[in-house]
Structure 1
Amino acid sequence: MDHPATEIGATKNVACLPLPLERDVFLRRLLRELAGTLQDVVGVQEASGYISVVGASIGEHIDHAYRSALSVDRLSRDQVAAVLVDLKRRIQGDFFVIEESEDRIVFGNRACPFGELVLGRPSLCMMTSNVFGAIAAENLGYAAVSLERTIAQGHEGCRVVVYLRPSDGVRHGMREYFRKDD
């Protein structure tokens, strides 16, 4: 026979357990497991494709939010670089501009928003590629993103290059993005 007093005590004891479980960790783990399942079932390339679709939608939403907040129709190249760094900062990434020119913006990163849960899940990097590519292309007309180094691949940090002008050929692993109305 259950005793209500015992159940109340058990509930209090469980609620006080020092578990690393809260919404952020839960959602990051959920995304890690979804990406891992996709990678296992359809492969890294196909999983990256699925995640790319999500990243493009998120990129559009974020782009709209920043342009509205800045009261501009289009972001300048300098604003695009600042927005990309800021959005990653807001989600606990640590991106910074290494180099900026008319042709490209090179970013470094010391911390992934997914934390250690990104390890072994390179398909999650498509979120960065698509968000960066969507925002840059929508505002500047074109972007191609190269994930040269990533924490997901085991590197200490990331190196992400956003090319702002088309070249004669797409480099290996680079994804191109175009303004929607072009």
Structure 2
Amino acid sequence: MPCPSLWPRSRASVSSPEDHLPLPPSFDCFVPCKIVPCRVRKRPPLPSSYPLSSLEGLDPAAAAALRKAGVRTTARLLDAAKRPKDRKALAEKTGIDEKQILAWANMADRMRVPGLGPEYALLLRAAGVDTVKELKYRNPENLVRAMADQNRKRKLVRILPSEKAVGRWIEHARKLPLKISY
């Protein structure tokens, strides 16, 4: 393939400084280029969002009422139920009890913790951790023990999280901004 007229350089006409890439012998032409370091910015992780069907105790009628109010995901539920007055307005709009909305919002809030899905959020609730704020102050060893006791009684999950995983949840919970006010 001939070289484009915009790059009329041949292998013989280009010296090979350190910042140029070596040219394989099969190339007809050579365009000098520099290797430029690229900076990759780390973005903060996006908050986890699950469908409303992943919330424990959400019956089809309540799910339909929430969808009618514009709430289709756990992230949207958190936004719609973050303050007491928001929960009251959502309860009036949907006909669902405020306490039930708060319970679902707390579960959705726990599910924001990376690595903590619906099943483990339910297990944490059974072990006495209602909110992300409470999770921040827990001891991993004691929490693992409480979770194991509750799982023995209720059979909520097939595999219990390790103490190391629970420790990571606690660390992530400490870094998460609070979403729900009481």
TMscore range, shorter length: under 0.3
- TM-score computed with the length of structure 1 as normaliser: 0.24
Q: Which has more radius of gyration?
A: 2
Structure with the larger RCO, 1 or 2 (CA within 8 Å, 6+ apart) = 1
Q: Judging by fraction of residues, say which structure has more strand.
A: 1
TM-score (norm 2): 0.24
